[in-house]
């Protein structure tokens, strides 16, 4: 199935990954609608910073995925749905588990019900490598046990299982993308790479949580390419597909690399206020992407150094959007 000329909906399309996906879909020739959370402040997120040639081709609808009527309105007359809307902050989920669980579970259920009712051609649902928890073996394939080590990861496990149930119960045309850690331009300071970059550029000390955990980082444009390939492939229905590079780096080594790339001489300090609860910390994430290569012929194209350089340059140009003095959750 080719996406060119298709009308598509992106929930969460004003966010980090969503905004990059929206741009790629517009460039590809799709008729793109974006569901944006209604707020009293600026509501269009990164859509506002897109080129006018892109923005003019986007239909924006406001609403809340927790509201079934909003979701039904957004899904009406589209062919493909990319579901990215979620509350994603792990530290935030410790303080506000109800909000995270309601948004990620009820929101996903509303999307599934609307897709079922409107007979949508395909739904691509977004999972996360956090559902795996600390690796029991590496590299982590799609058969790895799921572990709810934070309210956020538990909410995503629940959402993934509801998606699975709709595929098995109703033959809903759905595929689940499970990205490992993402980075790139536009990412918020809730994520570790922007946190390190902004402090490296402005401070003499880079304050982080635990330095020993390892992560598998994928540049956002590679992830967007995977979304599109999953949507277009007939081989992905009912499947969960890992997206990652197959390479890992510890947070401490990542910080050293970024400090060097920014030309900083900042000192790295482990800040106790940023450390996850002991049993909640995910010690190791390393992706097995063999299934993605087999089903959709996907491989990452951007190396970590290349992606970090692009991200550093973007953050340098948008430093006023960040507050390195505060710990964003």
Q: pLDDT over 90 for what percent of the chain?
A: 90
pTM metric for this prediction:
0.96
| pLDDT at residue 299 greater than cutoff 70 | yes
Instruction: Give per-residue pLDDT as tens, 111-147.
Output: 999 999 999 999 999 999 999 999 999 999 999 999 9
What is the pLDDT at residue 232? 98
Instruction: Give per-residue pLDDT as tens, 10-66.
Output: 999 999 999 999 999 999 999 999 999 876 455 567 887 788 888 899 999 999 999
Residue found by looking up tokens 């692009």 in the block: 310
What is the pLDDT at residue 240? 98
User: How many residues can be counted in the chain?
Assistant: 329
What is the pLDDT at residue 291? 98
What is the pLDDT at residue 223? 98
Closest-CA residue to 126 (of 200, 74, 179) = 179
What is the pLDDT at residue 43? 55
What is the pLDDT at residue 166? 98
Instruction: Give per-residue pLDDT as tens, 99-115.
Output: 999 999 999 999 999 99
**What residues are labeled active site?**
152
Query: What average pLDDT does range 241-266 have in this prediction?
Result: 98
Domain architecture of the chain: domains with CATH: 7-187+218-247+283-302 (3.40.50.720)
Query: What average pLDDT does range 254-261 have in this prediction?
Result: 98
What is the pLDDT at residue 39? 63
Instruction: Give per-residue pLDDT as tens, 187-226.
Output: 999 999 999 999 999 999 999 999 999 999 999 999 999 9
**For the chain, what is the mean pLDDT?**
95
Q: What is the 3-state secondary structure (H, E, C) of the chain?
A: CCCCCCEEEEECCCCHHHHHHHHHHHHHCCEEEEEEECCCCCCCHHHHHCCHHHHCCEEEEEECCCCHHHHHHHHCCCCEEEECCCCCCHHHHHHCHHHHHHHHHHHHHHHHHHHHHHCCCEEEEECCHHHHCCCCCCCECCCCCCCCCCHHHHHHHHHHHHHHHHHHHHCCCEEEEEECEEECCCCCCCCHHHHHHHHHHHCCEEEECCCCCEECEEEHHHHHHHHHHHHHCCCCCCCEEEECCCCCEEHHHHHHHHHHHHCCCCEEEECHHHCCCCCCCCCECCECCHHHHHHHCCCCCCCHHHHHHHHHHHHHHCHHHCCCCCCCC
| pLDDT at residue 83 greater than cutoff 70 | yes
């Amino acid at each position: 199935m080719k996406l060119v000329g298709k009308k598509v909906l992106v929930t969460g399309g004003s966010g980090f990954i969503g905004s990059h996906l929206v741009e790629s879909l517009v460039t590809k020739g799709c008729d793109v609608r974006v569901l944006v959370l209604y707020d009293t402040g600026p509501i269009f997120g990164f859509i506002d910073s897109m080129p006018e040639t892109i923005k003019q081709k986007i239909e924006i609808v406001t609403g809340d995925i927790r509201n079934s009527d909003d979701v039904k309105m957004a899904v009406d007359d589209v062919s493909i749905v990319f579901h990215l809307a979620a509350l994603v902050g792990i530290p935030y989920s410790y303080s506000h588990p109800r909000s995270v669980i309601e948004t990620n579970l009820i929101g996903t259920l509303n999307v599934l019900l609307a897709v079922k009712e409107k007979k949508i051609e395909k739904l691509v649902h977004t999972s996360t490598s956090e559902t795996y928890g600390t690796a029991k073996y590496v590299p982590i394939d799609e058969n790895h046990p799921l572990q709810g080590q934070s309210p956020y990861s538990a909410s995503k496990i629940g959402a993934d299982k509801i998606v699975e149930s709709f595929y098995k119960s109703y033959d809903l045309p759905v595929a689940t993308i499970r990205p490992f850690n993402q980075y790139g331009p536009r990412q918020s300071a809730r994520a570790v790479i922007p946190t390190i970059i902004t402090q490296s550029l402005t401070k003499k000390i880079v304050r982080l949580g635990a330095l020993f955990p390892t992560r598998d980082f994928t540049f956002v444009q590679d992830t967007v390419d995977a979304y599109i390939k999953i949507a277009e492939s007939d081989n992905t229905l009912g499947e969960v597909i890992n997206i990652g590079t197959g390479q890992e780096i510890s947070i401490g080594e990542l910080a050293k690399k970024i400090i060097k790339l920014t030309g900083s001489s900042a000192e790295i300090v482990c800040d106790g206020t940023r450390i996850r609860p002991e049993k909640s910390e995910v010690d190791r994430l390393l992706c097995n992407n063999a299934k993605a290569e087999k089903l959709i012929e996907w491989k990452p194209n951007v190396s970590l150094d290349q992606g970090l350089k692009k991200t550093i340059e973007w953050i340098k140009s948008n430093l006023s959007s960040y507050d390195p003095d505060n710990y964003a959750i």
